[in-house]
Amino acid sequence: MHDDRSITEHRLRRVLKERIKPAVHSRPVPLTIGRWEAPGEPVPVAEGLAAPYGPCAIGETWGPAWGTTWFKVTGTVPADWAGRTVEAVLDLGFDRMMPGFQCEGLVHRADGSEVKALNPYNDWVRVADSAAGGEQVEWYVEAASNPVLVDHSATYEGDRQTSGDQPLYRLARMELAVFETEVWELVQDLEVLYDLMTQLGEAEARRYEILRAIDAALDAVDLGDVPGTAAAARSRLTAVLAAPAHASAHRISAVGHAHIDSAWLWPLRETVRKVSRTTSNMVSLMDTHPEFVFAMSQAQQLDWIKTHRPELFERIKKKIADGQFVPVGGMWVESDTNMVGGEAMARQFLYGKKFFLDEFGIETHNVWLPDSFGYTAAMPQIVKLSGSKWFLTQKICWSQVNEFPHHTFWWEGIDGTRVFTHFPPVDTYNSDLGGAQLAHAAGNYREKGRGSRSLVPFGWGDGGGGPTREHLARARRQRDLEGSPRVEIERPDAFFEKAHAEYADAPVWTGELYLELHRGTYTSQAKTKQGNRHSESLLREAELWAATAAVRVPGYGYPYEDLERIWKTVLLHQFHDILPGSSIAWVHREARATYARVREELRGITLAAQLALAGEGAAELVFNCAPHARRGIPAGGAGLPEAAGHQPVTVEERHGGGHVVANGRLLVEIDGRGLIVSAYDLEARREAVAPGRAANLLQIHPDFPNMWDAWDIDAFYRNSVSDLVELDALEVVEAGPDAVTVRVSRSFGRSAAVQSITLRAGAKTVDMVTEVDWHETEKFLKAAFPLDVKAERSASETQFGHVYRATHTNTSWEAAKFEICAHRWIHVEEPGWGTAILNDSTYGHDVTRDVRPDGGQTTTVRLSLLRAPRYPDPETDQGAHILRFSLAPGAEIADAVREGHALNLPERVVHGAAPVAPLLALDNDAVVVEAVKLAEDRSGDVVVRLYESRGGRATASLKADFRIAEATETDLLERPLPGPAVAAPTADGTVALTLRPFQILTIRLHRP
């Protein structure tokens, strides 16, 4: 037989595009259109409905960037359409290739209720399933003219304050039409078969069976009367669509989904509208397709609907009760997991799962994080303690170098907890259920021979949209179709139950799920990251002192509502495109303002509690919020610091220029360039700085990654570096017995940096405050600390512990981790001696090692301070910054933990009557208190969360300085955990604890 495949395939593509698809909507009748431009920000629906509408015509331009245009469409269904299915086609000027990233609309009735949303793949509205003729149509379209910002070029359209006012869109089509059901079904038949056919091997008979059936179907189509011949054409396809799948066919659990970034290339306020648009379509689709299941994560997004669209929220609640609309994930938002602090990660689950329980009575069991940029090794334990048992991610398929070896596996965290995890082999969380994607899922699946099923999230996403009726048509046709995986629409939990039952002995992956991409997100938008870290610290303070005051001070009211509201604000801003710095300028401008408000409010809550505790008096009391005692003040207490008793700090001129500063524990040399050339540990008689090298060296690199500007740094940035050694000024600005500060000023490019280097009496840290006036473009600023340490690995603080990473590059897996994340500290050591670098808001680091000519090894730790990418915010990080970090020679892990908390939790001074005893005390510094608060149920019980911080077993006594009736170990939602109970408290309020390495314990202390 002659090979005419390409002829038939070309024929199908053209006939579909030019004849069959246009015939889906026939006999079009134009609607009458009015328009009104909303001034400024979006207006309430009632205002949009009551607005004065002017005339409008097809072809008119509309919508400046971030504007809202209201269209009023009216018309009458022709009488001769009686009995026909009638739809309106409302095309706002869509580009079919970019759903979720352009203009969108929400159709309202005259009473303000929503009908459905409009987007590039959903530009229709059903008028009647069987028209009577003469029906009146009156709808109001709230159209958002969001600019298209996906081309990765620098643009000022990402902020309403800098965007242009020219219209971006042209109204394309607003008509009533007859919906030709058989034509639409023919389109679905042909598209599914064509997609399947092109995935089959050229030697497979099934491919040619489909080809001949398509040829025959096209022969049956009268191009002049497609609606009249569609049924005949479909009959030619019946046999090939009825052939069942092979017994060994891969099984796909298809879950409707609409990944909606809570902010990214649009501001938060637009996300509020995006989730309403998407979910209105989903519940409408459920009304007509009872088999449809839609999963939605992010409690914040459902809370927005509850607040802004209560009538839609009630519809969603009904669909949740019916089992079609499925809350998943259990987190407040799909947050970043690398930089979020331990307690904040716990609160993501506390407030997310609590919302689902309170609103819907739903206990979510899976964690749904398809798009976050790598996953902390602390996550498995947090997942389990939240009451969840399954984890889903997708983003690891983006890794540049190494292909992840599993799709279904057990993920083991730093404490040994394992969670059953699935990584969908379809390699997208926005599947269209097309043949290419399903074939890729089946072929890519790495568990063949042991497992047989995978999950596919389907529906338009990133900017929302969700599944369409076309997606459901594909699922129906591929449920049991020869040559295709078997597709079944079902709930995520059903997939996990089946996958676990089939493959309970799946392989184990231990440690973090490091994404070999988007490493620049540890650094971009420094002020957003600083706002997050400082907010986490301030929330700790506010809760500790408020809880202490609530227990100790009669009449003091614990600010439950305020703290929960602030927590949710901070959690929202931990979304995986806000905290990582990968959103437009508008998002980060608002984030900076939000963090400023949070800071002032939390300071007010903290001060009010401290004043209530301190009482009236003139004594200067120092409040210590850190989990370790300092200056004689116990953790969580306040009082008068003990007399120093330390050697005074001295400063001398250094031979050859610079200064020598000493305090009896450290001797620090700052040379004439203002660089630290020696940090000598007098107690260990050990030098921290590598010979011939200088620490606290600012270095600048070019920073122009291959694609994702704000997201990525590529390894080749290291090929060019400039050491910033030119000096503007070097002076001693403080020289007292308690502290000596040397100030170093430099200029470089269009920027300047002023560093204050301080050594304090009794301290074993050298503190640096770096003020940078940053005006570089596409540059990367680092601070280098070359250390005389032979370290095979580094330890980086993560949530509730630390993670080790190799300093060598033996394999591609280690080489790919050329930029890593650390929280408050990073530590390197050789047996017997180590050094830590501490910070108060920096997350990005790199660690390298070199062997010197003398045979010694230099391990260089560098902090990533600032970047200057141009997309999506062309002014990223421009302006003034204050960055704090410290060098701790001779530090062990325990010292790093203590000093890291001390740097991030500064002492507070309040005048009062008498010292304040801590509410709780621990007798083992290896066990760290992460949070002290009152219970969420407002019972007045005290909840304390703590963890083992050094990676070893620990026993400790937790003593409460108030009456307790019982102590209970709970999960993160403060519910009792099954199993052995926490030991009963003794008469003096002491509870004995035993912890495994890095174990998190949440203890509820019941007050009588």
Active site residues: 371
Q: Which residues pair with 335 in a beta bridge?
A: 575
- Rounded to 10°, the helix 310-322/299-308 angle is 130
Task: Provide DSSP, 772-795.
Answer: EEE--SSEEEEEEEEES---SEEE
Q: Respond yes or no on whether the N-terminal peptide bond of residue 42 is cis (omega within 30° of 0).
A: no
Residue carrying the six token digits 């620049």: 520
The answer to whether 786 and 693 are in contact (CB under 8 A) is yes
Distance CA 831, CA 360 (A): 54
The answer to whether 680 and 667 are in contact (CB under 8 A) is yes
Distance CA 618, CA 611 (A): 12
Q: CA distances (Å), 521 to each of 378, 517, 746, 845, 864, in order? A: 19, 9, 27, 12, 11
Closest listed residue to residue 25, CA positions, set 262, 223, 227: 227
Q: Which residues pair with 850 in a beta bridge?
A: 858
Half-sphere exposure of 299 (CA within 13 A, CB side): 25
Distance CA 863, CA 752 (A): 18
Is 683 strand, coil or helix? Answer: coil
Task: Provide DSSP, 149-207.
Answer: --S-S--STTSTTT---S--EE--EEEEEEE-HHHHHHHHHHHHHHHHHHHS-TT-HHH
Q: CA distances (Å), 785 to each of 421, 445, 698, 760, in order? A: 38, 44, 9, 20
Tokens of 556: 């003091």
SS (H, E, C) 913-973: CCCECCCEEECCCCEEEEEEEECCCCCCCEEEEEEECCCCCEEEEEEECCCCCEEEEECCC
Is 876 strand, coil or helix? Answer: coil
Helix (H) or strand (E) holding 355: helix 342-360
Quick one: DSSP state of residue 17? Answer: I
Compute CA 914 distance to the chain's CA centroid, rounded to the nearest angstrom: 44
Distance CA 218, CA 88 (A): 28
**Exposure of 125 by Cβ count < 10 A (0-12 exposed, 13-18 middle, 19+ buried)?**
buried
The answer to whether 772 and 883 are in contact (CB under 8 A) is yes
Measure the CA angle with vertex 810, ends 809 and 812; round to 5°: 75
Q: CA distances (Å), 645 to each of 668, 739, 762, 939, in order? A: 21, 14, 8, 45
What are the backbone angles phi and psi of residue 403, rounded to the nearest 5°? Answer: -85, 125
Distance CA 941, CA 118 (A): 49
Measure the CA angle with vertex 131, ends 126 and 133; round to 5°: 125
Longest Cα pair distance anywhere in the chain, in angstroms?
A: 102
Is 670 strand, coil or helix? Answer: strand
Helix (H) or strand (E) holding 740: strand 739-748
Measure the CA angle with vertex 58, ends 265 and 69; round to 5°: 40
Task: Provide DSSP, 20-64.
Answer: IGGGSEEEEEEPEEEEEEEPSS---HHHHHTS-PEEE-TT-EE--
The answer to whether 636 and 920 are in contact (CB under 8 A) is yes
